[in-house]
Amino acid sequence: MNKLVPEDDGSADIALRKALAGRYNTVRPFLRLLGESPALAAAQGGKRVLAAVRKLPSLARRKTGRRPLSSAEVDAELVPRAWRPVVFANPALPAGAVDRDAYVVCVLEQLHRALVRRDVYAAPSNRWSDPRARLLDGAGWEAVREDVLAGLSLDMPVTEHLAELTAGLDSAWQQMATRMDEAGPEAKVEVVVRPG
């Protein structure tokens, strides 16, 4: 039987990432300002991304033609699977060398995602600020608490509500684990548990 859709080897994704890495010279002038900006801060989920952003100015100054970047000098866990061939397997570089331009653009993409998730935020910004900074507390919260909870249909005690959410999350994880076991080694999903 003929296949209607050819197997995806990821070449389109790789080509897209190579094209993005080619835009390094466009972003290079801004790396120092971005990396040294005191306005950026991070919640727990964005600390790794922000640490990589802080290293971008030194990477931009690096003469990679004389001394290529090694994998020990970058945070490999920040590089998603789609970026790995471009960042770690550039045929124009010596074996084991990291493509600095691709890595920098990859980190910038991760920064954008962290900003959208509010894992990284900018202090003076309205759009990209820390959403927790505007949470009500104390007397302000007590004054509007009943209206807010009623508006969100949260009429049960907090322990019951959290128990219900926990049970739903646990059920979803159990279902995913069962489906991954059924798929076996051909599963297109990988669960990585980070220590700590």
Task: Tell me, yes or no, whether 143 and 110 share the same domain.
Answer: no
CA angle, corner 81, sides to 75 and 82, nearest 5? 115
Please give the distance of CA 123 from its chain centroid, rounded to a whole number.
20
Task: Tell me, yes or no, whether 126 and 147 share the same domain.
Answer: no
Q: What is the mean pLDDT of residues 161-185?
A: 89
**Tokens found for residue 173:** 């994880």
pLDDT at 4: 52
pLDDT at 66: 83
What total number of domains does the chain contain?
2
Task: Tell me, yes or no, whether 60 and 144 share the same domain.
Answer: no
Does residue 113 lie within any of the structural domains? yes
Task: Tell me, yes or no, whether 48 and 105 share the same domain.
Answer: yes
Task: Tell me, yes or no, whether 57 and 106 share the same domain.
Answer: yes
Task: Tell me, yes or no, whether 90 and 148 share the same domain.
Answer: no
Task: Tell me, yes or no, whether 83 and 148 share the same domain.
Answer: no
pTM of full prediction above 0.75:
no
Higher pLDDT, 69 or 172: 172
Does residue 194 lie within any of the structural domains? no
Q: What is the pLDDT of residues 95-149, one digit of tens each?
A: 888 888 889 999 999 999 998 888 998 877 777 777 777 788 889 888 988 888 8
- Of the pLDDT bands very low, low, confident and very high (cuts 50, 70, 90), residue 187 is confident
Does residue 1 lie within any of the structural domains? no
pLDDT at 55: 93
Domain that holds residue 41: 11-132
Alpha carbon distance 31, 54 (integer Å): 9
- Of the pLDDT bands very low, low, confident and very high (cuts 50, 70, 90), residue 9 is low
pLDDT at 3: 54
Listed residue (59, 87, 53) closest to 73, CA to CA? 59
